[in-house]
Amino acid sequence: MKKIIVTGGAGFIGGNFVHYMLKKYSDYKIICLDCLTYAGNLETLEIVLDNPNFRFVKADITDREAVFKLFEEEHPDMVVNFAAESHVDRSIENPGIFLKTNILGTQTLMDACRRFGIERYHQVSTDEVYGDLPLDRPDLFFTEETPIHTSSPYSASKASADLLVGAYYRTYGLPVTISRCSNNYGPYHFPEKLIPLMIINALHNKPLPAYGKGENVRDWLYVEDHCKAIDLIIHKGTVGEVYNIGGHNEKTNIEIVKIILKELGKSEELITYVTDRKGHDLRYAIDPTKIHNELGWLPETKFEDGIKKTIRWYLNNKGWWEKIISGEYKNYYEKMYVDK
Protein backbone atom coordinates (compact mmCIF):
# COMPACT_ATOMS: atom_id res chain seq x y z
CA MET A 1 0.00 0.00 0.00
CA LYS A 2 1.28 3.43 -0.96
CA LYS A 3 0.40 6.49 1.06
CA ILE A 4 0.02 9.79 -0.74
CA ILE A 5 -0.54 13.14 0.91
CA VAL A 6 -2.60 15.28 -1.46
CA THR A 7 -2.57 18.90 -0.35
CA GLY A 8 -5.38 21.18 -1.52
CA GLY A 9 -7.60 18.13 -2.10
CA ALA A 10 -10.75 20.05 -1.13
CA GLY A 11 -10.22 22.38 -4.09
CA PHE A 12 -11.03 21.95 -7.77
CA ILE A 13 -8.16 19.93 -9.27
CA GLY A 14 -7.01 18.35 -5.99
CA GLY A 15 -10.56 17.12 -5.36
CA ASN A 16 -10.77 15.57 -8.81
CA PHE A 17 -7.34 13.98 -8.22
CA VAL A 18 -8.47 12.45 -4.90
CA HIS A 19 -11.50 10.88 -6.60
CA TYR A 20 -9.40 9.67 -9.54
CA MET A 21 -6.73 8.04 -7.35
CA LEU A 22 -9.17 6.36 -4.94
CA LYS A 23 -11.05 4.89 -7.89
CA LYS A 24 -7.91 3.72 -9.69
CA TYR A 25 -5.83 2.36 -6.80
CA SER A 26 -7.81 0.28 -4.30
CA ASP A 27 -4.63 -0.38 -2.30
CA TYR A 28 -3.49 3.24 -1.86
CA LYS A 29 -4.22 5.45 1.12
CA ILE A 30 -4.94 9.05 0.16
CA ILE A 31 -4.53 11.65 2.87
CA CYS A 32 -5.95 15.06 2.02
CA LEU A 33 -4.30 17.97 3.80
CA ASP A 34 -6.31 21.15 3.32
CA CYS A 35 -7.02 24.15 5.53
CA LEU A 36 -10.34 24.90 3.77
CA THR A 37 -9.84 28.46 2.60
CA TYR A 38 -12.77 30.09 0.78
CA ALA A 39 -11.81 27.84 -2.20
CA GLY A 40 -11.78 24.59 -0.23
CA ASN A 41 -15.07 22.77 0.11
CA LEU A 42 -15.43 19.53 2.02
CA GLU A 43 -18.60 18.73 0.08
CA THR A 44 -16.34 18.11 -2.91
CA LEU A 45 -15.02 15.12 -0.94
CA GLU A 46 -18.34 14.07 0.62
CA ILE A 47 -18.59 10.78 -1.28
CA VAL A 48 -15.18 9.58 -0.05
CA LEU A 49 -15.23 10.80 3.55
CA ASP A 50 -16.25 7.32 4.76
CA ASN A 51 -13.81 5.47 2.48
CA PRO A 52 -11.34 3.56 4.72
CA ASN A 53 -8.54 4.40 2.25
CA PHE A 54 -9.14 8.12 2.72
CA ARG A 55 -8.31 10.54 5.51
CA PHE A 56 -9.05 14.24 5.68
CA VAL A 57 -6.84 16.49 7.81
CA LYS A 58 -7.67 20.15 8.23
CA ALA A 59 -4.35 21.97 8.40
CA ASP A 60 -2.42 24.76 6.75
CA ILE A 61 0.62 23.82 4.64
CA THR A 62 2.48 26.77 6.18
CA ASP A 63 1.91 25.37 9.69
CA ARG A 64 5.20 23.55 10.25
CA GLU A 65 4.09 21.84 13.45
CA ALA A 66 0.89 20.46 11.92
CA VAL A 67 2.64 19.35 8.72
CA PHE A 68 5.48 17.60 10.57
CA LYS A 69 2.98 15.94 12.92
CA LEU A 70 1.06 14.53 9.96
CA PHE A 71 4.27 13.21 8.36
CA GLU A 72 5.23 11.60 11.66
CA GLU A 73 1.84 9.88 11.87
CA GLU A 74 1.55 8.76 8.25
CA HIS A 75 5.09 8.49 6.83
CA PRO A 76 3.81 9.13 3.28
CA ASP A 77 5.52 7.66 0.20
CA MET A 78 4.57 10.66 -1.92
CA VAL A 79 3.30 14.21 -1.64
CA VAL A 80 1.35 15.89 -4.43
CA ASN A 81 1.06 19.60 -3.70
CA PHE A 82 -2.06 21.23 -5.14
CA ALA A 83 -2.61 23.59 -2.19
CA ALA A 84 -2.36 27.17 -3.35
CA GLU A 85 -4.06 30.48 -3.62
CA SER A 86 -5.05 30.17 -7.27
CA HIS A 87 -7.04 33.16 -8.49
CA VAL A 88 -5.14 35.83 -10.46
CA ASP A 89 -7.70 38.57 -9.72
CA ARG A 90 -7.38 37.98 -5.96
CA SER A 91 -3.57 38.06 -6.24
CA ILE A 92 -3.81 41.53 -7.78
CA GLU A 93 -5.85 42.73 -4.79
CA ASN A 94 -3.86 40.95 -2.06
CA PRO A 95 -0.50 39.42 -3.04
CA GLY A 96 0.69 38.64 0.52
CA ILE A 97 -1.28 35.44 1.10
CA PHE A 98 -0.13 34.14 -2.32
CA LEU A 99 3.50 34.49 -1.32
CA LYS A 100 2.88 32.88 2.06
CA THR A 101 0.88 29.85 0.91
CA ASN A 102 2.39 29.25 -2.50
CA ILE A 103 6.06 29.76 -1.61
CA LEU A 104 6.44 29.20 2.14
CA GLY A 105 3.87 26.39 2.12
CA THR A 106 5.92 24.61 -0.55
CA GLN A 107 9.05 25.08 1.56
CA THR A 108 7.35 23.65 4.65
CA LEU A 109 6.15 20.56 2.77
CA MET A 110 9.58 19.94 1.26
CA ASP A 111 11.27 20.40 4.66
CA ALA A 112 8.97 17.70 6.05
CA CYS A 113 9.86 15.47 3.07
CA ARG A 114 13.56 15.96 3.82
CA ARG A 115 13.07 15.26 7.51
CA PHE A 116 10.99 12.07 7.13
CA GLY A 117 12.18 10.85 3.71
CA ILE A 118 10.01 10.59 0.60
CA GLU A 119 9.85 8.62 -2.63
CA ARG A 120 8.48 11.61 -4.57
CA TYR A 121 7.49 15.22 -3.97
CA HIS A 122 5.37 16.49 -6.85
CA GLN A 123 4.72 20.20 -7.34
CA VAL A 124 1.57 21.09 -9.27
CA SER A 125 2.55 24.24 -11.11
CA THR A 126 1.06 26.21 -13.97
CA ASP A 127 1.80 27.36 -17.51
CA GLU A 128 1.40 30.91 -16.18
CA VAL A 129 5.02 30.79 -14.96
CA TYR A 130 6.06 31.28 -18.61
CA GLY A 131 4.24 34.61 -18.88
CA ASP A 132 2.25 35.06 -22.08
CA LEU A 133 2.58 34.75 -25.86
CA PRO A 134 1.54 37.35 -28.43
CA LEU A 135 -1.85 36.93 -30.09
CA ASP A 136 -0.40 37.28 -33.59
CA ARG A 137 2.15 34.43 -33.28
CA PRO A 138 0.10 31.21 -33.31
CA ASP A 139 3.31 29.34 -34.15
CA LEU A 140 4.74 29.93 -30.64
CA PHE A 141 4.20 27.55 -27.71
CA PHE A 142 5.55 27.13 -24.16
CA THR A 143 8.08 24.31 -23.89
CA GLU A 144 9.86 23.24 -20.69
CA GLU A 145 12.81 25.37 -21.88
CA THR A 146 10.78 28.59 -22.21
CA PRO A 147 12.21 31.10 -19.71
CA ILE A 148 10.20 31.86 -16.59
CA HIS A 149 8.72 35.33 -17.09
CA THR A 150 5.76 36.06 -14.86
CA SER A 151 3.04 38.72 -15.03
CA SER A 152 0.81 38.50 -11.93
CA PRO A 153 1.56 38.10 -8.23
CA TYR A 154 -0.08 34.65 -8.57
CA SER A 155 2.21 33.48 -11.37
CA ALA A 156 5.24 35.04 -9.66
CA SER A 157 4.46 33.09 -6.48
CA LYS A 158 4.06 29.83 -8.42
CA ALA A 159 7.31 30.47 -10.31
CA SER A 160 9.12 31.19 -7.04
CA ALA A 161 7.88 27.89 -5.65
CA ASP A 162 9.10 26.08 -8.79
CA LEU A 163 12.56 27.60 -8.36
CA LEU A 164 12.61 26.48 -4.74
CA VAL A 165 11.59 22.94 -5.74
CA GLY A 166 14.50 22.91 -8.23
CA ALA A 167 16.82 24.16 -5.50
CA TYR A 168 15.77 21.38 -3.09
CA TYR A 169 16.46 18.83 -5.83
CA ARG A 170 19.91 20.21 -6.64
CA THR A 171 20.99 21.07 -3.10
CA TYR A 172 19.45 18.29 -1.02
CA GLY A 173 18.76 15.67 -3.67
CA LEU A 174 15.02 15.71 -2.84
CA PRO A 175 13.26 13.47 -5.42
CA VAL A 176 11.00 16.07 -7.02
CA THR A 177 8.98 16.50 -10.19
CA ILE A 178 7.08 19.56 -11.42
CA SER A 179 4.13 19.74 -13.82
CA ARG A 180 2.99 22.93 -15.56
CA CYS A 181 -0.54 22.61 -16.84
CA SER A 182 -2.76 24.90 -18.88
CA ASN A 183 -6.24 26.07 -17.76
CA ASN A 184 -8.43 23.25 -16.43
CA TYR A 185 -12.21 22.94 -16.56
CA GLY A 186 -14.66 20.35 -15.24
CA PRO A 187 -16.65 19.40 -12.11
CA TYR A 188 -16.07 21.14 -8.74
CA HIS A 189 -14.54 24.25 -10.34
CA PHE A 190 -14.98 27.19 -7.95
CA PRO A 191 -17.50 29.66 -9.41
CA GLU A 192 -15.15 32.66 -9.47
CA LYS A 193 -13.24 31.23 -12.46
CA LEU A 194 -14.25 31.91 -16.07
CA ILE A 195 -16.14 28.75 -17.10
CA PRO A 196 -18.22 28.06 -13.94
CA LEU A 197 -18.87 31.80 -13.46
CA MET A 198 -20.26 32.12 -16.98
CA ILE A 199 -22.37 28.94 -16.67
CA ILE A 200 -23.91 30.11 -13.40
CA ASN A 201 -24.48 33.72 -14.51
CA ALA A 202 -26.10 32.50 -17.71
CA LEU A 203 -28.41 30.20 -15.74
CA HIS A 204 -29.45 33.22 -13.66
CA ASN A 205 -29.77 35.47 -16.77
CA LYS A 206 -27.14 37.73 -15.21
CA PRO A 207 -24.54 39.69 -17.28
CA LEU A 208 -21.50 37.68 -18.41
CA PRO A 209 -18.46 39.91 -17.71
CA ALA A 210 -15.81 39.54 -20.45
CA TYR A 211 -12.60 41.35 -19.54
CA GLY A 212 -11.32 43.85 -22.16
CA LYS A 213 -12.28 42.73 -25.66
CA GLY A 214 -12.65 39.07 -24.68
CA GLU A 215 -9.85 38.21 -27.11
CA ASN A 216 -7.37 36.68 -24.63
CA VAL A 217 -6.58 33.06 -25.37
CA ARG A 218 -6.38 30.15 -22.93
CA ASP A 219 -5.51 26.48 -23.66
CA TRP A 220 -8.30 24.46 -21.96
CA LEU A 221 -7.83 20.92 -20.63
CA TYR A 222 -10.48 18.67 -19.05
CA VAL A 223 -9.48 18.20 -15.40
CA GLU A 224 -9.44 14.39 -15.55
CA ASP A 225 -6.78 14.53 -18.27
CA HIS A 226 -4.66 16.63 -15.91
CA CYS A 227 -5.15 14.04 -13.13
CA LYS A 228 -4.07 11.24 -15.48
CA ALA A 229 -0.93 13.18 -16.41
CA ILE A 230 0.04 13.71 -12.76
CA ASP A 231 -0.59 10.02 -12.03
CA LEU A 232 1.85 9.14 -14.85
CA ILE A 233 4.46 11.65 -13.72
CA ILE A 234 4.53 10.52 -10.07
CA HIS A 235 4.85 6.86 -11.07
CA LYS A 236 6.92 7.01 -14.25
CA GLY A 237 8.33 10.52 -14.58
CA THR A 238 12.03 11.25 -14.15
CA VAL A 239 13.11 12.85 -10.88
CA GLY A 240 14.27 16.45 -11.27
CA GLU A 241 12.25 17.00 -14.45
CA VAL A 242 9.54 19.48 -15.43
CA TYR A 243 6.59 18.30 -17.59
CA ASN A 244 4.27 20.64 -19.47
CA ILE A 245 0.64 19.46 -19.73
CA GLY A 246 -1.83 20.81 -22.29
CA GLY A 247 -4.07 19.61 -25.06
CA HIS A 248 -3.67 22.10 -27.95
CA ASN A 249 -7.14 23.44 -27.29
CA GLU A 250 -6.85 27.20 -27.58
CA LYS A 251 -9.93 29.37 -27.41
CA THR A 252 -10.53 33.09 -26.91
CA ASN A 253 -12.56 33.94 -23.83
CA ILE A 254 -15.39 35.22 -25.97
CA GLU A 255 -15.50 31.91 -27.89
CA ILE A 256 -15.85 30.09 -24.56
CA VAL A 257 -18.64 32.40 -23.42
CA LYS A 258 -20.53 31.98 -26.69
CA ILE A 259 -20.22 28.17 -26.56
CA ILE A 260 -21.69 28.18 -23.03
CA LEU A 261 -24.56 30.49 -24.03
CA LYS A 262 -25.36 28.31 -27.05
CA GLU A 263 -25.36 25.11 -24.97
CA LEU A 264 -27.71 26.70 -22.45
CA GLY A 265 -29.93 28.28 -25.11
CA LYS A 266 -29.29 31.78 -23.78
CA SER A 267 -28.89 35.07 -25.66
CA GLU A 268 -25.49 36.60 -26.49
CA GLU A 269 -26.99 39.87 -25.28
CA LEU A 270 -26.00 38.72 -21.79
CA ILE A 271 -22.32 39.34 -22.69
CA THR A 272 -21.00 42.54 -21.08
CA TYR A 273 -17.52 43.87 -21.79
CA VAL A 274 -15.92 45.13 -18.57
CA THR A 275 -12.64 46.81 -17.58
CA ASP A 276 -9.67 44.60 -18.41
CA ARG A 277 -7.62 42.77 -15.76
CA LYS A 278 -4.39 44.61 -14.87
CA GLY A 279 -1.39 43.03 -16.63
CA HIS A 280 -3.76 40.58 -18.38
CA ASP A 281 -1.80 37.75 -20.06
CA LEU A 282 -2.70 37.59 -23.75
CA ARG A 283 -2.24 33.97 -24.72
CA TYR A 284 -1.19 30.69 -23.09
CA ALA A 285 -0.35 27.68 -25.25
CA ILE A 286 1.43 24.51 -24.16
CA ASP A 287 3.66 22.26 -26.23
CA PRO A 288 3.06 18.82 -24.61
CA THR A 289 5.60 16.92 -26.75
CA LYS A 290 7.79 15.90 -23.81
CA ILE A 291 5.09 14.23 -21.70
CA HIS A 292 3.70 12.58 -24.83
CA ASN A 293 7.06 11.20 -25.99
CA GLU A 294 8.40 10.20 -22.56
CA LEU A 295 5.26 9.03 -20.76
CA GLY A 296 2.77 8.41 -23.57
CA TRP A 297 0.26 10.95 -22.23
CA LEU A 298 -2.36 12.36 -24.55
CA PRO A 299 -5.53 14.27 -23.64
CA GLU A 300 -8.57 12.01 -23.96
CA THR A 301 -11.55 14.36 -23.61
CA LYS A 302 -12.31 16.59 -26.60
CA PHE A 303 -13.40 20.11 -25.68
CA GLU A 304 -16.80 19.70 -27.40
CA ASP A 305 -17.53 16.73 -25.10
CA GLY A 306 -15.82 18.10 -21.99
CA ILE A 307 -17.71 21.37 -21.99
CA LYS A 308 -21.05 19.55 -22.44
CA LYS A 309 -20.17 17.20 -19.54
CA THR A 310 -19.15 20.18 -17.42
CA ILE A 311 -22.34 22.13 -18.11
CA ARG A 312 -24.40 19.02 -17.35
CA TRP A 313 -22.50 18.60 -14.07
CA TYR A 314 -23.34 22.17 -13.01
CA LEU A 315 -26.99 21.60 -13.94
CA ASN A 316 -27.13 18.33 -11.97
CA ASN A 317 -25.21 19.62 -8.95
CA LYS A 318 -26.89 22.92 -8.21
CA GLY A 319 -26.73 22.18 -4.47
CA TRP A 320 -22.92 22.20 -4.60
CA TRP A 321 -22.56 25.66 -6.15
CA GLU A 322 -25.67 27.27 -4.67
CA LYS A 323 -24.23 26.63 -1.20
CA ILE A 324 -20.96 28.23 -2.32
CA ILE A 325 -22.72 31.28 -3.65
CA SER A 326 -24.74 31.65 -0.45
CA GLY A 327 -21.66 31.00 1.73
CA GLU A 328 -23.43 28.07 3.45
CA TYR A 329 -20.72 25.59 2.40
CA LYS A 330 -18.39 27.10 4.99
CA ASN A 331 -20.54 25.57 7.74
CA TYR A 332 -20.12 22.07 6.32
CA TYR A 333 -16.86 21.33 8.11
CA GLU A 334 -18.34 22.34 11.47
CA LYS A 335 -21.31 20.08 10.80
CA MET A 336 -19.20 17.11 9.66
CA TYR A 337 -16.35 17.26 12.13
CA VAL A 338 -16.71 19.75 14.94
CA ASP A 339 -20.33 19.25 16.01
CA LYS A 340 -20.03 15.45 15.95
Partner from ligand TYD, ligand NAD, none contacting 299, C-beta within 5 to 8 A by type: none
User: Could you give the CA distance from residue 189 to residue 191 in angstroms, rounded to a whole number?
Assistant: 6
Count of all residues that appear for the chain in the document: 340
| The entry of ligand TYD, ligand NAD, none that residue 10 binds, CB within 5 to 8 Å by partner kind | ligand NAD
Within residues 194-223, the interface with ligand TYD by CB under 6 A covers 194, 197, 209-211, 216, 218
Q: Work out which of 18, 36, 42, 227 binds ligand NAD, going by CB under 6 A.
A: 36
Confirm if 217 and 255 have CB atoms less than 8 A apart. no
Catalytic residue at 128? yes
Catalytic choice (34, 43, 127, 224) = 127
Among the listed residues 45, 43, 50, 47, the one whose alpha carbon sits nearest the alpha carbon of residue 32: 45
Active site annotation includes 269 = no
253 interacts with ligand TYD by CB under 6 A: yes
Q: How far apart are CA 325 and CA 226, in angstroms?
A: 26
For ligand TYD, the closer CB: 30 or 194: 194
- For residue 168, indicate whether it is catalytic: no
Residue closer to ligand NAD by CB (options 39, 256) is: 39
Pick the catalytic residue from 20, 121, 130, 154: 154
Q: What angle do CA 171, 176, 181 make, to 5 degrees?
A: 130
* Residue 214 or 288 with smaller CB distance to ligand TYD: 214
Please select the residue that binds ligand NAD; options are 14, 76, 131, 237, rule is CB under 6 A.
14
Nearer to ligand NAD, 270 or 281 (CB): 281
Q: Which residues contact 122 (CB under 8 A, 6 or more apart)?
A: 78, 79, 80, 81, 176, 177, 178, 179, 230, 233, 234
Helix or strand run (H / E) with residue 96 = helix 96-98
156 binds ligand TYD (CB under 6 A): no
For residue 201, give every residue at least 6 positions away whose Cβ sits within 8 Å of its Cβ, in sequence order, or none: 207, 208, 209, 270
Question: Which lies closer to ligand NAD via its Cβ, residue 39 or residue 261?
Answer: 39
Of residues 44-103, which lie at the interface with ligand NAD (CB under 6 A)?
Answer: 60-62, 82-86, 101
Strands (E), 207-277: 208-211, 217-219, 221-222, 242-245, 250-252, 271-274
Strand pairing partners for 211? 274
C-alpha 250: how far from its chain's center? 18
Of 105, 99, 100, 97, nearest to 156 by C-alpha is 99
| Amino acid at position 79, single letter | V
Near ligand NAD by CB under 6 A: residue from 12, 284, 297, 303: 12
Binder to ligand TYD among 88, 109, 118, 178 (CB under 6 A)?
88
Residue nearer to ligand TYD on the CB measure, 108 or 249: 249
Helix (H, G, I), strand (E, B) or coil at 95: coil
The yes or no reply on residue 29 touching ligand TYD (CB under 6 A) is: no
> Which of ligand TYD, ligand NAD, none is residue 40 near (CB under 5 to 8 Å by kind)?
ligand NAD
Rule CB under 6 A: which residues touch ligand TYD? 88, 183, 193-194, 197, 209-211, 216, 218, 253, 277
Q: Which residues are catalytic?
A: 127-128, 154
Rule CB under 6 A: which residues touch ligand NAD? 7-8, 10-14, 34-37, 39-40, 60-62, 82-86, 101, 105, 124, 126, 158, 181, 183-184, 190
